Structure 1
Amino acid sequence: MRIFSLISTATICWVLSVALPSAQAENWPQWRGPKLDNISHETDLPISWSSTENVAWKIPMPGPGGASPVVWDDRIFVTAAAGDDLLLMCINTDGKELWRKVVGQGNKTARTDEGNSASPSPCTDGKHVWSYMGNGAIGCYDFDGNEIWNFNMQDRYGRFDIQFGMTSTPVLDGDRLYFQLIHGDGDAATQEALVVCLDKLTGKEIWKQPRPSEAVAENEHAYASPTIYRDDEREFLLTHGADLIVAHDLDTGKEIWRSGGLNPPDRYDRTLRLVASPTTAEGIIVAPSAKRSPLLALRPDGTGDITDSKTYRLWQHEKTPDVPTPVVYDGIVYLCMENGNLTTLDAKTGETFYKQKRTHRQRHRASPIYADGHIYLTARDGRITVVKAGPEFEVVSVNEMKDSLAASPAISNGTIYLRTFDNLWAIRKE
Structure 2
Amino acid sequence: MKKCVLIGLAIAAAALPVAANDWPRWRGPKNDNISTDTQFSTQWPAAAKKVWAAPVDIGYASPIAADGVVYVFTSLSKKDTLTAFKADSGQRVWQESYDNAWTGGYAGTRATPAIDGGNIFTFGGAGDLTSRDLKTRKANWQTNVISTLKAGNLQWGASSNMLIDGDLIYVQTGENAPIAVAVNKSNGQITHRSVVKDKAGYAAPILAEVGGKKQIIVFGASTIYGLSPDLQTKLWSTPWRTDWDVNASTPIYSDGKLFVTSGYKTGGGLYEITDKGAKQLWFNGDLKSRFQGAVLDGGYLYMATEAKKPDGRVVVAEWATGKIVAELPDRGTELGMGGSVVRHGNHLVGLSERGSLSLYSATKDGIKRVTEYRNVVDGSQVWSTPLIYNGNIYVKGKDEIVCISTRP
TM-score of the superposition, structure 1-length normalised?
0.80
Deviates more, 1:67-76 or 1:346-355: 346-355
Q: Which amino acid aligns with 1:334?
A: Y
Structure 1 residue 408 corresponds to structure 2 residue 380: no
Structure 1 residue 235 corresponds to structure 2 residue 214: yes
Identity between Structure 1 and Structure 2 (%):
21
Give the secondary structure class of the aligned counterpart of 1:155.
Answer: helix
TM superposition shift of 1:197: 0.4
**How many angstroms apart in 2 are the aligned matches of 1:168 and 1:84?**
20
Contact 1:364–1:378 (8 Å) recurs in 2: no
Per-residue displacement from partner, 1:218-240 (whole Å, max 9, x unpaired)? xx462222222348934322211
**How many angstroms apart in 2 are the aligned matches of 1:82 and 1:383?**
25
Contact 2:75–2:101 (8 Å) recurs in 1: no
Q: 1:419 — aligned with what?
A: 396
Q: How many residues align?
A: 378
More strand, by proportion:
2
> Match for 1:160 among 152, 160, 163?
152
State how 1:348-427 maps to structure 2 within 5 Å.
348-354=320-326, 357=329, 358=331, 360-361=333-334, 363-391=336-364, 392-400=366-374, 401-404=376-379, 405-427=382-404
> Match for 2:171 among 163, 167, 179?
179
**How many angstroms apart in 2 are the aligned matches of 1:229 and 1:335?**
22
TM superposition shift of 1:37: 1.2
Q: Which has the larger radius of gyration?
A: 1
Structure 1 residue 194 corresponds to structure 2 residue 176: no
Structure 1 residue 321 corresponds to structure 2 residue 255: no
Q: 1:117 — aligned with what?
A: 108
**How many angstroms apart in 2 are the aligned matches of 1:128 and 1:28?**
14
State how 1:216-231 maps to structure 2 within 5 Å.
220=199, 222-230=201-209
Contact 1:163–1:221 (8 Å) recurs in 2: no
**How many angstroms apart in 1 are the aligned matches of 2:320 and 2:61?**
32
Q: 2:161 — aligned with what?
A: 169
Q: Which amino acid aligns with 1:394?
A: K
**How many angstroms apart in 2 are the aligned matches of 1:27 and 1:232?**
31
**How many angstroms apart in 1 are the aligned matches of 2:47 and 2:196?**
48
Per-residue displacement from partner, 1:75-128 (whole Å, max 9, x unpaired)? 222111122211111222232212111133344152xxxx42312111001510
Give the secondary structure class of the aligned counterpart of 1:141.
Answer: strand
**How many angstroms apart in 2 are the aligned matches of 1:413 and 1:330?**
24
TM superposition shift of 1:322: 2.2
Q: Which runs of 5+ in 2 are unaligned?
A: 1-17
Give the secondary structure class of the aligned counterpart of 1:299.
Answer: strand
Q: Which amino acid aligns with 2:305?
A: M
> Match for 2:129 among 138, 142, 164?
138
Contact 1:49–1:399 (8 Å) recurs in 2: no
Per-residue displacement from partner, 1:226-271 (whole Å, max 9, x unpaired)? 22234893432221122222122224452222222x33xxxxx663
Per-residue displacement from partner, 1:353-396 (whole Å, max 9, x unpaired)? 03575462453425321113212221111012222121112122
More helix, by proportion:
1
Q: CA RMSD in A?
A: 2.6
> Match for 1:97 among 81, 92, 103?
92
